[in-house]
Amino acid sequence: MQRIGVFVCWCGSNIAGTVDVKAVSEALSHEPGVVYSINYQYMCSEAGQNLVKDAIRDYNLTGVVICSCSPRMHENTFRKAAASAGLNPYMVEIANIREQCSWIHKDMPTATEKAIILGRAAIAKVHLNAPLMAGESPVIKRALVIGGGIAGIQTALDIADAGFEVDIVEKEPTIGGKMTQLDKTFPTLDCAACILTPKMVDCAQHEKINIFSFSEVEKVKGFVGNFHVTIKKKARFVDETKCTGCGECTAKCPVKGVPNEFNLGMDNRRAIYIPFAQAVPKVATIDPNYCNMLKNGKCGLCAKVCGAGAIDYKQQDQFVEREYGAIVVATGFNPIKLDQFDEFGYSQSKDVITSLEFERLTNAAGPTSGTLLRPSDGKHPHTIVFVQCVGSRDTSGCGKTYCSRICCMYTAKHAMLTREKYPDTDVYVFYIDVRSPGKNYDEFYRRAVEQYGVHYIKGMVGKVAPRADGKLMVQASDLIAGEQLHIEADLVVLATAIEPDKTARPLATMLTASMDTNDFFTEAHAKLRPVESPTAGIFLSGACQGPKDIPDTVSQAGAAAAKVIGLLAKDKLTTNPCVAESNELMCNGCSSCEKVCPYGAITYLDKEFRMPDRTTMVRRVASVNPAVCQGCGACTVACPSGAMDLKGFSNSQIMAEVDAICQMK
Amino acid sequence: MSDRLKEQVLRTSGVNVLKCMRCGKCSATCPSYDEMEYHPHQFVYMVEKGEIEKLMASPSIYKCLSCFACIERCPRDVEPAKLVEAIRLMVIRQQGQNHLKPGQIPEMLDEELPQQAIVTAFRKYAK
Ligand SMILES: Cc1cc2nc3c(=O)[nH]c(=O)nc-3n(C[C@H](O)[C@H](O)[C@H](O)COP(=O)(O)OP(=O)(O)OC[C@H]3O[C@@H](n4cnc5c(N)ncnc54)[C@H](O)[C@@H]3O)c2cc1C
Ligand code: SF4
Ligand code: SF4
Ligand code: SF4
Ligand code: SF4
């Protein structure tokens, strides 16, 4: 029989205002096994914790029940207090009589009755508790960052500066992400390249950072502190260690008509290319879909001109195995495809462009060397219409239900910069709402209206129709004037919704990290743990977690790095002992549990069993890796034989709680 | 009265006016915009406010072409044209109302008018 102490907390008036705490401690003192029962104003205070410690010693308690707030709040506090008094921390149970009782009830008698019942259930559970020991697992002191945009770069630099090794895996030939394609950046209008390229170079030169460019994560095994990752280095047909980035090959390659993805197809590159001048690493890559040598063995020019002898037409994909203690996902975003939005004429006219294309058209390194020219005829546009919310805030199924969060601000930037450089241009912005809640953001947007004379019109564009003479007929609502407008525009810019990178979903599956219905990675807690995934050891940085501008991305990147550093600074991790365990005698090896385990914690062993007649029999049984298991309990429900049980939350403990609640007194 | 009418419009149309985010894309699309006193987005808001009688009395309900452009374009799946149709139906279904008399037909006829149009017009506008 356990010797149980019950401690009822008032939580000031939070609990005592609705629950008669004296009646609760009185009633629970008569429960079987209870040898001590009191109530106190703040159990979590130092004095309150001392009450628990003293009672454990004075009354030789073997179990403790605290009737207080949610275990999320203070379970750890009381476990520590119990441990310091010599009691196994897992002999402490919390009855949540605040969130689940006092806060949601008004009537004192019924709330008091419920508090007593909840206390009784916790007592019933403690009777079946057994001491549990937390295990330990070592931590590999290296981090993996997947995605080398500004998010991944900042996270990697911060981790490396703390002295830990970091690998960046970037699927493109260079790191830098979307920010490399931007021109100037709100809210301060500094040039994107000027603030980004130094960071890219820092990554390349940092002795603790190792960049795997043109690479992808192929396989992930293991668990927090101990991830085993296979990285695929895609063949780029150029030896990275030899290439000096001189660009001799890219000048000589005869295949000139390859759409240049860096400029979103608005100009061409060669079959061998370096994405842009400041690429990191500055190494050429051959595009096998276009290279004559790789397609039909006829050419080899680049190998001839390359002074470093770096060209290697026989290069194959390489697979590298690495181990990590922590993984940061920083896979970013992309603008959505506009197939569902024919009304804006994107596919019908070259002069209807996305905002990202607009960035390239105004960027000095872009296809027009920074002069804003119409893609169709290379003329200066005199009337430009910007359309916000294209594909965002859309519940019709064509677009995305969320607000893409960055487009109001970059549209204000585009409109403002256009008016500054080309004051003879008429600029219209059609908006549903202007969302500018960041620091100095509303001021920025107002400048576009007040100083730069951008026409902001509340209403949406319904139709963009290209006319034979090259003009774009824009039909739109002006809701405040109560008019339908018809504007002859030269250029239409669509503030296109953004979505997570398409590779994020398969990556999430590999990492067993959860995602929302939009394929953004979900955080462990929306408010209190925003940079951690619910899967231990996986962290989130940048737009892969939700739409974000650069200031927010960089803040989050630093926060993720801090969490990683906190983890890598430890030599060993204590593991949660409340994990699943299979009863080998009952397990029939059916694989049901493995299929439901979201963490991949379950494997099967062929095990020898001694039979009653002294023969041996080999049976396949489930085995749980306690370091990987997160104690979610999915397997215990799936097991048809009742062989899986969760330590600390066993089926019998839960049934005892249910019985205690159902028992009428 | 207006509550009952609103209820009836919502029921016949099956439209949830609360989904509207006031972007005006329906009215930006509508080919009959200039002919209308109240525009598609105003139908949505006026139904929400219960101003059904105003809409019933407005010629706008006959200006709608039922082209469904507004339905096609609305990013929130609101279907304004269904409200127009529902209000039109309510007007037609009123007791004793007659918008088209057989005597008016001859002067309206021209060579290209299909027979079908006359039948439809009677169905829609006459008791
Ligand atoms: C038109 C436009 C204008 C903008 N203007 C501004 C502005 O003025 N100011 C501002 O603050 N913000 C602006 N932004 C927002 C800014 O671009 C983002 O905040 C920022 O790029 C987010 O960085 P990120 O690293 O999270 O994502 P990204 O920049 O998308 O980087 C993600 C990186 O991960 C890589 N990757 C993806 N999947 C994988 C994978 N599976 N494996 C390996 N690598 C992978 C990608 O190749 C990419 O390099 C603008 C955005 C747009 C579209
Ligand atoms: S071998 Fe291929 S990449 Fe090299 S120059 Fe010839 S076509 Fe270009
Ligand atoms: S940020 Fe502005 S333009 Fe972009 S979806 Fe949100 S409201 Fe629309
Ligand atoms: S269905 Fe009627 S209201 Fe809607 S766009 Fe067509 S004409 Fe306008
Ligand atoms: S298009 Fe839809 S959401 Fe926009 S104003 Fe019209 S009904 Fe409302």
Q: Residue A643 is part of a domain; what is its CATH number?
A: 3.30.70.3270
Residue A241, in any domain of the structure: no
Helix segments in A8-86, DSSP class H: 13-16, 21-28, 46-58, 71-84
Q: What separation, in Å, do the N-terminal and C-terminal C-alpha atoms of chain A show?
A: 22
A465–B contact, CB cutoff 8 A? no
In the sheet with A326-329, reading across from the earlier edge strand, the strands are: A209-212, A165-169, A142-146, A326-329, A538-540
Domain match, A128 and A42 both = yes
Looking at residue A481, its pLDDT comes to 94
CA of A480 vs chain B CAs: smallest distance (Å): 10
Residue A405, SS3 per DSSP: coil
Does one domain contain both A469 and A414?
yes
Flag whether pLDDT at B125 surpasses 80: no
- Which residue's CA is the nearest one to ligand 1's atom 52? A356
Give contacts of B26 with chain A, Cβ < 8 Å.
462
Residues in Cβ contact with A18 at an 8 Å cutoff, skipping those fewer than 6 apart = A101, A102, A103, A105, A106, A107, A108, A111
Q: How far is the CA of A562 from the CAs of A137, A159, A532, in angstroms? A: 21, 7, 11
Confidence check: pLDDT of B95 > 90: no
- Is the C-beta atom of A630 inside 6 A of ligand 3? no
Average pLDDT over residues B111-121: 82
Q: How far apart are CA A160 and CA A140, in angstroms?
A: 15
A325 and A339 within one domain = no
Q: Which residues of chain A have pLDDT under 50?
A: none
φ, ψ (nearest 5 deg) of residue B19: -75, -15
Question: Which of ligand 2's atoms lies nearest the C-alpha of A253?
Answer: 5
Asked if residue A137 belongs to a domain, the reply is no
Which ranges constitute the DSSP H helices of A11-149? 13-16, 21-28, 46-58, 71-84, 108-128
Chain B interface includes A607 (CB < 8 A): no
Q: A342 to chain B: nearest residue by CA?
A: B73
Interval B68-97 mean pLDDT? 91
| A620 close contact with B: CB closer than 8 A | no
Q: What angle do CA A224, A226, A229 make, to 5 degrees?
A: 105
Pair (A118, A152) in one structural domain: no
Interface probe for B, chosen from A341, A458, A484, A494 (most Cβ of B below 10 Å), is A484
B76 has a chain A CB within 8 A of its CB: yes
Q: Are B106 and B100 in contact, with CB atoms under 8 Å apart?
A: no
Q: Are residues A435 and A454 part of one domain?
A: yes
Alpha-carbon span A638 to A644, nearest angstrom: 9
Can you name the residues that pair with A602 across neighbouring β-strands? A624
B75 to A343: CB separation less than 8 angstroms, yes or no: no
**C-alpha A553 to ligand 1 mean position (Å):** 9
Contact B34/A484, CB-based, under 8 Å? yes
Cβ-contact A272, A253 below 8 angstroms: yes
Same domain assignment for residues A375 and A489 = yes
Same domain, A508 and A524: yes
* B123: pLDDT strictly greater than 80: no
Does residue A142 fall inside a structural domain?
A: no
pLDDT on residue A496: 98
pTM of the model as a whole: 0.84
Residues A324, A347: one domain? no
Cis ω for the linkage preceding A173 (within 30 of 0): no
Give me the residue from B21, B28, B74 closest to A476, CB to CB: B28
- What's the total number of domains in chain A? 5
Output the pLDDT for position B116. 83
Q: Which atom of ligand 4 is nearest to the CA of B65?
A: 7
Of B23, B29, B74, the CB nearest to A463: B29
Clarify whether residues A210 and A266 are in a common domain: no
Nearest CA in chain B to A476: B28
User: What is the extent of the structural domain holding A586?
Assistant: 580-647
Is A42 found in the same domain as A16?
Answer: yes
Token pair of A162 as six digits:
């703390």
pLDDT for residue A664: 66
Query: Do residues A286 and A259 make contact, with C-beta atoms less than 8 angstroms apart?
Result: no
Contact A214, A168 (CB under 8 A): no
Q: Break chain B into its structural domains and give their ranges.
A: 2-94, 100-127
Q: Whose CA is nearest to atom 4 of ligand 2?
A: A302
CB of A175 within 8 A of CB of A206? no
Measured between CA atoms, the residue of chain B closest to residue A341 is B73
Q: What is the model's pLDDT at position B94?
A: 74
Contacts (Cβ under 8 Å, ≥6 apart) of A392 = A399, A400, A402, A403, A404, A407, A495, A497
- The pLDDT score that the predictor gives to residue A574 is 86
Buried b (16+ CB within 10 A) or exposed e, A369-403: eeebbbbeeeeebebbbbbbbbbbbbebebbbebb
Which of A154, A182, A499 to mutate for ligand 1's pocket (most ligand atoms within 8 Å of CB)?
Answer: A182
A396 interface with B at CB cutoff 8 Å: yes
Residue B127 confidence (pLDDT) above 70: no
CA distance B8 to chain A (A): 24
The CB of A366 under 6 Å from ligand 1? The reply is no
Q: What is the pLDDT of residue B126?
A: 67
Q: Considering the domain delimited by B2-94, tell me its CATH architecture.
A: Orthogonal Bundle (1.10)
State whether A431 and A357 are in the same domain: yes
pLDDT at residue A105 in the model? 96
Contact A370, A546 (CB under 8 A): no
Give nearest CA residue, ligand 1 atom 14: A549
- Atom 6 (ligand 4) nearest CA: B67
Q: Identify the residue whose C-alpha is closest to ligand 3 atom 8.
A: A389
Using CA atoms in the order A202, A335, A337, A505, what is the torsion angle rounded to 10 degrees?
A: 70
- Does residue A240 lie within any of the structural domains? no
Same domain, A594 and A564: no
> Would you say residue A196 lies in a domain?
yes
Name the residue among B28, B39, B41 with its Cβ closest to that of A461. B28
